[in-house]
Structure 1
């Protein structure tokens, strides 16, 4: 039981500590009026029991309930200071309790503390009469002890600082009678103590002095002129002792409020009634006007329900004899909707980042309306379709918060219009426009204008040549949108890509760092990275394909007959060859590609231009007519090959053709060119020397074979001699296949001899050259060019008649064909020719 009781006591203690903050219990202070600006009222931080700097950290604001900001809160020290000089009489008038209400607003979390400051009165106003002198007419027959009400002095101070006493200048007929009413006001009457005798004295001049209770005392005086009249025994009487009327606060000047009327039973001048205000403060004279003749009460000044809701007027009717009567007029002011709602901005964040979380408070403001009832009820709203919403808090406080995600790239600025409408008739509206800027965060990566780039550059370019440009756009701003470009690591063959190209980090321009050679590399890929300047930085990549465009920088190269050979190339042609006979086939290649490698042949010069022709496309050398005895025994042909580039490049080769008679001895000439790779670091000159030596050796072998055939041509038995293949000069491998064709088969010769006869049969097959390549180095400035060429198939086969004797047909028994291993023979031209 004891433990439970202590827990309840702890709970009550917590409620006792925090309940005042939740309910907003007021903090009371008192302050004398007329304090100097900057005077200390109190230290709010001590009363709130807060820590040092808490008010500043929580953005404390002092919100006044009045239009003027009389006080200022120092958020750092917590001191409440006087901001404007306070006049209690101007602020509260004659109200006993003069309170200035304010609220301290704390954020994060939102807390409100009500501040009530009582303004204490000081004796800063002297008593004051409404006029400098009064005139009082008293009939001579007035009885002693008769009371004549006097116009009291007005003192705007309160309590002891207000009027405490009246004194009258010494005289023998009159004295003062002062009394206090229930509301604390002091009324003073002039009392007749001794009967008047007009014939002895018709005028009295008295001085009335009002004295307040302040320290030091202040006084005010008025002169009372008393005129003694003849007998007037009837005073004016009002028809109604009290009048009530209602009046709207926006009533214009001159509006009739009420009409009072008094009657006097006397006649003549004693019955002439004059109406006037009695015992009324000066502000009533500024608001209402009374017609002294007709008694009509009308509006004279501007009435404001928010300042005063009712007025109590005392009206006096005085006849011509000086007698008077009194009545009361109660004017009730009705409220009209003449005040538009007001929006007071308490705190505001003009710039917010686009990644701000939802429910972030952007602005805190308060809506007030000075009207009352439905005229003071308000509805607050903001423009629709915006990522902001209003949250209503206590005491008409509103929070503008983020309700949906922000995106600066879609909208970087919002002009928010806060609209407030009251419930009056007609409804009044006010608005407040606030500008909210969205600051950028790095939430967008650079985006390239193209998904990939393809750049073309001609080979043999100069180093530093501009290849092209890439460009990326970042939708962010400032440093977050500043894009820099770089190359990602990669390789072109065995070399790093950075040795081929470079990129300008600011412009995205790509430059070639070296001269490129189409024959070495036809294209390569570069990865470009675009990085923005945000933190953390965002990036994107794009593929750039660099394509090298071929130029006509390689002249055609003869594979057969081989260029730059020291010994001439001799071809044999039978003297009995018919027109169109295929003598040989010229083969050339070009290291370029495309139309730059399209070759055409022409006969540039010949011993007899009318005897031979060459195929422009295939390079086949054929006879144009039948050979005659008048033709020379050695024909020399200068052959030109031209590529299709611009400008075109050419090469020439010399070919010797020897017309021969038929052979009488078996003869076989076989040339087999096998594929063999050249090493790239050897020069072409070495191979040309080797080729020349091999060709010379084959020529000697052919002469020896010719002699052997002659010796054995009359042998009685049939025999077949197979001559092993001889190898001509080694040709570089991987020759590119041009469109005119090149040698692709080995030379192959088969000779069949028939014993026992004087005739022999000779089958002559043209050489078949396999596919091979030539590594041709051409010096072009600083670059090395590697030309890959391919040899084409040589299809020509020649027939030779060695004698006029009849011979057996091809394929006679006992004549096996001896072919080189791996050779491909064109059987369409394996015709046998017999010669005697």
Structure 2
């Protein structure tokens, strides 16, 4: 085994500078012809210096340089076996040595091993003559030692298996002579050893035997009939002994190849010359036709340069007397570009990852052209718009490699057309289409349809109600595009968002887990994450804003007079009050929002319906006319408040108004009041004690809160807002007259008690929202009872005033 690097110094230099690990080693084997299929030629593992199983692991392939594969490589054992019976004569003819060229191609790394297998000849063919009989006609005056040419036998075997010797049957007149020329061709002649006498014997029958050198020897015989003619002492002669002709391949039938002409100086039949092939193979005689009369040689069958590039023919000219002459015609076939390049794909990766590295090999193929010269040289190309390129390996092997990054989301597959073009004229091309699929990798994150999903849900919803849906897309495929939705752990009012809503991991539908209350949660924000199923997984987040829509589910609530209170609410009204006198102001709130919290007031029932009116928006109770003596001293009003929701909700409260001349007047007339309302007499004193204790406690609480707030403000150096005391129900801090029905200003009421009161009619107005500033006790402010200062100046009631109380409402 010898290395091809030794035969080519240029390849050796290329090997040193090449980054590829391609190896080229030539291995020689020999095998006799006619061996049966499965015959072991050799085991290549030792010559290739490879271990068991390495051929299979490296995907070894045996590539034949001929059109037919005669051998098979067992990649498991490394045995090189005969695949089909080989006939050396049919394969190579007379060419010696008869070689079959193949290559073993290994991958990872790429290596080439050239295999040359010599087909050894065996003696499987006996010598043959072109005819069963040869007829010779010899003039009787032929001198002794005259040589008569004979046609030699043809043995398609080579070497010692070809014709080695000739024998001639015993006779007295002829002797066999065998001559060799410079090319070791054997030429047979009959030498005349004794003069001829036609009158004694006019014909000789000889047997010529050809013997080959095989074991066992094989023979072939031919009968030679020698006829003795009359005198013909001139031989046909050619003007030149050798003719050279150039013939284009694929020349049509009948094309003139050459014309030979011989001249005989004799006359008559002795001068009539006929032409014939002499010692020309049967194959050559099938390709050409020789006109026996004119000596014209024409094309008879297709001339293929790839099969045979030259032919030599011996032309024999025989005159009528049996004398002959020889000349040689040499036909050189001119190659034509009649074979397109052939593309053979040896290795192909039909599916490649989209993140494959640049210069990764996609396919390995070879290009061959049976023509010669420029006609046999070819160039390969692919479309320039594809992310693939061709690189040259060696020995007409090419690689299809990746030259630019792949993106499956843009182009998922390619049909790569490889075009091979030779350099002949006209140029011939061939193409091969390779289908390459791009496999997906997880290189795209999920993308939501929106950057923010806005959803709405009405409060008091049913648990499990579908709120909305989020949707994301992933440009990848299969598992890489399978999305899973989830909620990120976030808190809303100290609870995780997952306690309010849930999401379907597959569809992205968002459901409410519990009934929502607008008064507690007006909206909530959650972060939804979409994760794909790739490795590693990719994800994207989006914000979902759920707005809770308010419903009219809260009835208005009276703050003053306090709704559902066990104590009756009494207001004092001087009898001298004029029209539009502000008696008091009722205050109500609604826990809803928007138009559901717009409140309107009306008087449902009154002791005297024409005496009082109420502002529909601000809740101010005023007199509609001046008071008269006929008006009852205790008026009772049933006031209703209605919101603007659909359907509207209503609440009612009761207000008692006491008519007084002065602060002491109603208490001096205890008997009359009791007569009007006897149910209030027994409990008034108890109510008074409870109210005084409550006012004192609230006042003390306000003072302590105020001092604590001031101290905190000094410590922290910042302002703050004091939350109101929690009186059920919760009172909104921002109240307006026209919208929410709440008071916009503070009212203070002064109440006087007489010394002689046994059972007082006192009605305490306890503060609902404390005021942080302490009023000046020397200043009495009353926007709802203008008659009280006058009572203080009245001498008749000066001894009945014992104490002042301060109160405020909101």
TM-score, normalised with respect to structure 1: 0.78
1:284 aligns with 2:281: no
The CA RMSD over aligned residues, in Å, is: 3.6
Q: Structure 1 residues 510, 224: closer, same or farther in 2, change over 3 A?
A: same
State how far apart, in whole Å, the 2-side matches of 1:380 and 1:154 are: 46
Aligned to 1:797: 783
Task: Using the TM superposition, give the Cα deviation of residue 157 of structure 1 relative to its aligned residue in structure 2, in angstroms.
Answer: 0.3
Task: Using the TM superposition, give the Cα deviation of residue 470 of structure 1 relative to its aligned residue in structure 2, in angstroms.
Answer: 2.0
* Superimposed CA distance per residue, residues 505-525 of structure 1 (whole angstroms, 9 cap, x where no aligned partner): 222222222111112222223
Q: 1:500–1:512: 8 Å Cα contact kept in structure 2?
A: yes
* Superimposed CA distance per residue, residues 110-129 of structure 1 (whole angstroms, 9 cap, x where no aligned partner): 33333222111001112222
* Superimposed CA distance per residue, residues 474-525 of structure 1 (whole angstroms, 9 cap, x where no aligned partner): 2222222211122222322222333222222222222222111112222223
Task: Using the TM superposition, give the Cα deviation of residue 319 of structure 1 relative to its aligned residue in structure 2, in angstroms.
Answer: 2.2
Q: Structure 1 residues 651, 751: closer, same or farther in 2, change over 3 A?
A: closer
Aligned to 2:732: 735
Aligned to 1:61: 61
* Superimposed CA distance per residue, residues 521-566 of structure 1 (whole angstroms, 9 cap, x where no aligned partner): 2222323222222222223332222322211111111222222344
Q: 2:660–2:666: 8 Å Cα contact kept in structure 1?
A: no
State how far apart, in whole Å, the 2-side matches of 1:255 and 1:489 are: 94
Aligned to 2:156: 156
State how far apart, in whole Å, the 1-side matches of 2:132 and 2:407 are: 75
Structure 1: segments with no counterpart, 5+ residues: 1-14, 668-691, 702-727, 754-765, 774-794, 809-814, 826-836
State how far apart, in whole Å, the 2-side matches of 1:443 and 1:230 are: 103
State how far apart, in whole Å, the 2-side matches of 1:203 and 1:275 are: 24
Aligned to 2:34: 34
Aligned to 1:502: 502
Aligned to 1:348: 348
Aligned to 2:394: 394
Aligned to 2:671: none
* Superimposed CA distance per residue, residues 633-692 of structure 1 (whole angstroms, 9 cap, x where no aligned partner): 55443332222222222222333444444557799xxxxxxxxxxxxxxxxxxxxxxxx9
Q: Structure 1 residues 87, 729: closer, same or farther in 2, change over 3 A?
A: closer
* Superimposed CA distance per residue, residues 37-64 of structure 1 (whole angstroms, 9 cap, x where no aligned partner): 2211112111232333333333333332
Count of aligned residue pairs for this structure pair: 717
Task: Using the TM superposition, give the Cα deviation of residue 280 of structure 1 relative to its aligned residue in structure 2, in angstroms.
Answer: 0.2
* Superimposed CA distance per residue, residues 790-809 of structure 1 (whole angstroms, 9 cap, x where no aligned partner): xxxxx99335558999979x
State how far apart, in whole Å, the 2-side matches of 1:600 and 1:200 are: 167
State how far apart, in whole Å, the 2-side matches of 1:85 and 1:729 are: 110
1:748 aligns with 2:748: yes
State how far apart, in whole Å, the 1-side matches of 2:43 and 2:685 are: 119
Which of the numbers 672, 697, 705 marks the counterpart of 2:688? 697
Q: 2:390–2:399: 8 Å Cα contact kept in structure 1?
A: yes
Aligned to 1:456: 456
State how far apart, in whole Å, the 2-side matches of 1:478 and 1:227 are: 95
SS at match of 2:637: strand
Aligned to 2:189: 189
Q: How does 1:244-643 map to 2 (within 5 A)?
A: 244-566=244-566, 568-628=568-628, 634-643=634-643
Aligned to 1:212: 212
Q: 2:128–2:154: 8 Å Cα contact kept in structure 1?
A: yes
SS at match of 2:748: coil
* Superimposed CA distance per residue, residues 274-295 of structure 1 (whole angstroms, 9 cap, x where no aligned partner): 2221110011112112222222
* Superimposed CA distance per residue, residues 375-406 of structure 1 (whole angstroms, 9 cap, x where no aligned partner): 22222222213333322233222222223333
State how far apart, in whole Å, the 2-side matches of 1:700 and 1:89 are: 137
Aligned to 1:165: 165
State how far apart, in whole Å, the 1-side matches of 2:726 and 2:133 are: 151
* Superimposed CA distance per residue, residues 581-628 of structure 1 (whole angstroms, 9 cap, x where no aligned partner): 323222211111122111122333444444433222212223334445
Task: Using the TM superposition, give the Cα deviation of residue 207 of structure 1 relative to its aligned residue in structure 2, in angstroms.
Answer: 3.8
State how far apart, in whole Å, the 2-side matches of 1:398 and 1:643 are: 88
* Superimposed CA distance per residue, residues 180-212 of structure 1 (whole angstroms, 9 cap, x where no aligned partner): 333233222233444444455544444433222
Aligned to 1:682: none
* Superimposed CA distance per residue, residues 335-371 of structure 1 (whole angstroms, 9 cap, x where no aligned partner): 2222222222222222222222233222222222222
Q: Structure 1 residues 292, 461: closer, same or farther in 2, change over 3 A?
A: same
TM-score, normalised with respect to structure 2: 0.80
State how far apart, in whole Å, the 2-side matches of 1:772 and 1:350 are: 85
SS at match of 1:283: helix
State how far apart, in whole Å, the 2-side matches of 1:203 and 1:610 are: 176
State how far apart, in whole Å, the 2-side matches of 1:190 and 1:170 are: 12
Aligned to 1:688: none
State how far apart, in whole Å, the 1-side matches of 2:476 and 2:165 are: 81
* Superimposed CA distance per residue, residues 217-258 of structure 1 (whole angstroms, 9 cap, x where no aligned partner): 223333334443333332222232221121111322221111
